[in-house]
Structure 1
Amino acid sequence: MEKQSFSDFLTEWNRMQNLTTPEIHLKLASWLEQKWITKDARLLVMAFRGFGKSSIVGIFCAWVLWRNPDLRILVLAADLALARKMVRQVKRIIEKHPQLKDMKPAKAEEWGGDRFTIARNSELRDPSMLAKGIDTNLTGSRAELIICDDVEVPRTSDTAYKRKDLRERLLELEYILTPDGALVYVGTPHHYETIYTDKPDAETDEIFMSGYERHVTPVMDKDGKSAWPERFTKDKIDRIALKTGPANFSSQMMCVPAMISDGKFKEEDLIRYTDDVVYNEAGGEAVLTIGDTKMVSACAWWDPAFGNKGGDKSVLAIVYTDIQGHYWLHHLQAILIKPGSVHSEAVQQCMIVAELLEQYFVPQIAIEVNGIGAFLPGILERELGQRNYKCPVIQVHSRKPKNIRINEAFDAVLAANHLHVHKTALHNSFQDELRDWNPLKKNQKDDTLDAVAGAMSMQNVKIQRVRGSKQAIWQRGGKVRIAKTVLD
């Protein structure tokens, strides 16, 4: 009996789940079936986030096993949990589809969470379907079909070393694939030098996927028409673009690898302001406003440095957040000490930072403790205690490359015009660093950018009520004013 086409199989399965099958899914299904029948051995499925490409490829795996129970399928992903999702999906299809239920093995041990072996004719060492993470040793495995599902993610591609390591691991798949086997990649680009590019790689001068057949579906075409208008309306696409920023939208939704510098920051995207912060109380709650806008949370980020003339600066950034999710960079300061003080440099810096935290009602501070910052949290906590000011000190180890951190913090926020900057913050090097920043340049001046990025990346904490009657002495920078009228 001739078994149904994959398009019909997909449509029937969706109908069993009370789902419809959109046209873009049918196009991918027809393409996969055609390439499978014509034995095209190298395929790339690249489609926008939310397309459902991994789900369709999972259903495709169930279909090919139904057609040929002796096949062995290896699912490889950036982490094992993701690979297991596809294996579990195929298991559910076999269990619930009336035409596939006889494929389920009699022995429970052959029906595992990350692997299973269906009822088949051949005696083979490898299971019918196996899930593995990209870091796993695959020596000795064999498969007729290998699915690489999102093997390129930030964790595997955000440095040149990781990209090189990923390519080397993926090249090993040629030894696992049988001579007539097929290799299918599923994903979206996460770096300009992506494995999915059809252009020579700047790092290797080679096209990693040379000779691959490609099925590429961006969320909209060059005329702005949505690929899936029922689900991705123009308003929804615009919201995604606004939230994710130009570079991420290009790569994740348009399937066009974007260099971070393609979304290079523009000064005109900043919203400048001159208002002071005003503190008040109402109903026992702290009310902090800038102009007519109420702030709901705040965080400070301190990237410390010591006695390094011409080197990194010790920078403190204080950022508020309003109810609309806009960021307000109110104070940015290089922490300078007085030579000849009776206090050590570390203590002096912590004294200055503690005073600023109290002045600006900051409920939480993060200290980057890579290297020299390791012992500062204890000193700062002591200084805050002496001031009787409650402010948790969070220790942060930055493992992500600095250029990635800065881009992730600023790209979408600036594109949406959601970053407000007090005029005093623009008087230091922040404005110059923003204008001149180049993610591909090494050893550039970006200390203030990095501190502001850190503050914006933190989970901001609700502004706390001031205890006691002591008022701070306001210094330079964006000011704070305590209103004379206190409402209870």
Structure 2
Amino acid sequence: MVKVDFATFYLVYAEVLNWVVPDFHLEVCDFLQDYGTLGLLMMPRGHGKSTILDVYNAWKLYINPDHLILHQGATDPDAYKVSRGTEQVMDRHPLCQLFGVKKARGETQKWWVSGSTDVRHGSIHARGILSNVTGARANEIQNDDVEVPSNIGTPEAREKLLYRLSEQTHILIPGGQKLFVGTPHTHDSLYTRIKKLGAKCLILKMFEKEKRFEQIIECLVDYKPVYIFSGIGTTSKLLKEGEDYQIVYTGHFYKITFDESHYLIDVYSEALWPERFTPAIMEERRRECRTINEWDSQYQLHAKPVGDVRLDPDKMIPYDCEPVLMRANGEYFMMLGERRVVGITARWDPSSGKIKSDISAVAVTLHDDLGNKYWHRSVALKGEVVTHNENGEIIGGQAWQLCDLIETYHIPRVVIETNGIGGFAAAALKGALKARRLRCGVVEHHSTGAKNKRILEAIEGPLVSGLVWVHVSVIDTPEEGENSSVQYKQMRMFNPAITDQEDDYLDSFAGTLTDSPERVGKIHRTNEVNEGPNWRGNSGVVEATLDFEN
């Protein structure tokens, strides 16, 4: 008797349980049957991916009883759910009963189906991603929602997760398959890495088309709006056409006019599963999301953390020009485009001698007379702090590299963090400056107090006020294997509650902001004082003759 494909197998089981199968479930079935050696399946919460996976595992064992599946979830109990679900499908599926495919022996963690000839490795082996599975072997490894806040909340946790995933390479039998299923929980998402490895992907968002607007009363979209949400959390609302807004089709665009201004508007097309996720249910779920990032990651599958980003790099304004030193009226001045630069600050945070640090970060920030801050350079110095020739003269090293920046941008002063090797680094820089015949002040600074608080106090205020600009060189230096620069990654991943995290570039940049005084800008000096009337009485002018003689 010929065995059926997975879509047919799934529909037979759905018929037994009286399920109404949406079209996208069949799309998932086709994907799972032929995802190759590496696959990525992403679906919103509540769309049945775990249920489909239960049926898929039963189908794989129905096709081949010798197939070995290692299913890994975030924890052991999470993995056991799929193990029990697969067993239940086998007990109830007509085709499994017809071919005699059923659980023969074993427990929830590891069990064998009838017909399996492998006595060591279970047909289904279910374990948490952080559990020890070193001795396991599998034809197919499934990673089901292994990325959760608990195992990516700290750099150590993320590194441990990646290490466990790398172990799977040695567990997988040559020619085997590896499947990832889940939703993202961070900017530095595991699933972004899987895409870059060339995985075959099926990504089904809650709403296929989306547009976001801020502080608007009117907008245009190039698709028919179906769901329009205002706000997020308890204040969010699903707006209604005719009551909260009006739509006019112009022939190319849909013009949406709101009855009042909204600080946040999301305009979506039709939902992926509208029969189940009705407008009322979606409005309820929107209100239960604490942050817009949580909504974006769990329903629109964007790689974002579920919590708020305190230092959002997207709030910085990119620019692409270099400062120019000019001379006029007998004096030198510096221009950045059309803005006059009135200050340059530089901060060097050496890495040698520090625990868990490999970045010797330097930040250079320009300041104009309107109070704007320009994050112009953010670089990592390489090699020894200082190198000498056979005559003992300084010829290179990190201090020499820093001198290049000082000479290029005419930096008048550099502040060096003395935590760690700061004292030695300061002496090395002074020696390099003397060798280069450069004039620049060197200030040693010993940081005290909580570093996270120091970074937040320096950066967050100017950032949310729109005063921070960033040079494209800081943006266009992506970390290996990443889409954005390491500076952007450190900003997005910055968590004030974590004391040990990657923040070398942020720390040096924060120092350049606090090393310069705040400027209110010359535009404010042109405003005349609106002086009120003097309502206090006076006795007028009195002339008196003074006689100091006795």
TM-score scaled to structure 1, two decimals?
Answer: 0.51
**Residue-by-residue CA offset, 1:226-262 (whole Å, 9 max, x unaligned):** 0111011234323322321310011011001125787
**C-alpha contact (below 8 Å) 1:265/1:434 kept by paired residues:** yes
- Note the residue ranges of structure 2 that are not aligned, 5 or more in a row: 210-267, 313-451, 467-490, 498-550
Within 2, Cα distance between the matches of 1:442 and 1:32? 37
Within 1, Cα distance between the matches of 2:24 and 2:496? 46
1:73 to 69, 73, 89: 69
What residue is the counterpart of 1:416 in the other structure? none
Give 1 or 2 for the bigger CA radius of gyration.
2
1:217 to 197, 200, 204: 204
Measured after TM superposition, the shift of residue 99 of structure 1 is 2.1
Measured after TM superposition, the shift of residue 56 of structure 1 is 0.5
**Residue-by-residue CA offset, 1:172-229 (whole Å, 9 max, x unaligned):** 101001111111111000111110015xxxxxxxx67511111101111114210111
What residue is the counterpart of 2:282 in the other structure? 237
In structure 2, the CA distance between the partners of 1:105 and 1:92, relative to structure 1 (3 Å rule), is closer
What residue is the counterpart of 1:95 in the other structure? 91
RMSD across aligned positions (CA): 3.1
Measured after TM superposition, the shift of residue 122 of structure 1 is 2.2
What residue is the counterpart of 2:82 in the other structure? 86
| Counterparts of residues 142-161 of structure 1 (less than 5 Å) | 142-161=137-156
Measured after TM superposition, the shift of residue 140 of structure 1 is 1.4
In structure 2, the CA distance between the partners of 1:112 and 1:191, relative to structure 1 (3 Å rule), is same
**C-alpha contact (below 8 Å) 2:185/2:305 kept by paired residues:** no
In structure 2, the CA distance between the partners of 1:232 and 1:135, relative to structure 1 (3 Å rule), is same
Amino acid aligned to 1:28: V
- Is 1:122 aligned to 2:168, yes or no? no
In structure 2, the CA distance between the partners of 1:171 and 1:441, relative to structure 1 (3 Å rule), is closer
Within 2, Cα distance between the matches of 1:209 and 1:13? 35
239-248 or 64-73, which deviates more:
239-248
**Residue-by-residue CA offset, 1:27-82 (whole Å, 9 max, x unaligned):** 101111133xxxx1100111101111111112111001100010111110110001
Within 2, Cα distance between the matches of 1:443 and 1:93? 46
What residue is the counterpart of 2:20 in the other structure? 20
What residue is the counterpart of 1:10 in the other structure? 10
1:48 to 44, 48, 58: 44
Amino acid aligned to 1:91: E
What residue is the counterpart of 2:102 in the other structure? 104
- Is 1:252 aligned to 2:276, yes or no? no
Amino acid aligned to 1:128: S
**C-alpha contact (below 8 Å) 2:66/2:116 kept by paired residues:** yes
What residue is the counterpart of 2:108 in the other structure? 113
Within 1, Cα distance between the matches of 2:496 and 2:181? 36
Measured after TM superposition, the shift of residue 93 of structure 1 is 1.2
Within 1, Cα distance between the matches of 2:70 and 2:116? 19
**C-alpha contact (below 8 Å) 1:195/1:209 kept by paired residues:** no
Within 2, Cα distance between the matches of 1:26 and 1:52? 12
Measured after TM superposition, the shift of residue 103 of structure 1 is 2.0
Higher relative strand content: 2
In structure 2, the CA distance between the partners of 1:127 and 1:242, relative to structure 1 (3 Å rule), is same
In structure 2, the CA distance between the partners of 1:89 and 1:440, relative to structure 1 (3 Å rule), is closer
Aligned residues with identical type, % of pairs: 30
Within 1, Cα distance between the matches of 2:496 and 2:72? 37
Larger RCO (CA under 8 A, 6+ residues apart): 1
SS of alignment partner, residue 100 of structure 1: helix
Within 1, Cα distance between the matches of 2:285 and 2:496? 33
**C-alpha contact (below 8 Å) 1:74/1:129 kept by paired residues:** yes
Within 1, Cα distance between the matches of 2:299 and 2:495? 29
In structure 2, the CA distance between the partners of 1:70 and 1:224, relative to structure 1 (3 Å rule), is same
What residue is the counterpart of 2:30 in the other structure? 30
Within 2, Cα distance between the matches of 1:119 and 1:441? 51
Within 2, Cα distance between the matches of 1:215 and 1:77? 19
**C-alpha contact (below 8 Å) 1:220/1:227 kept by paired residues:** yes
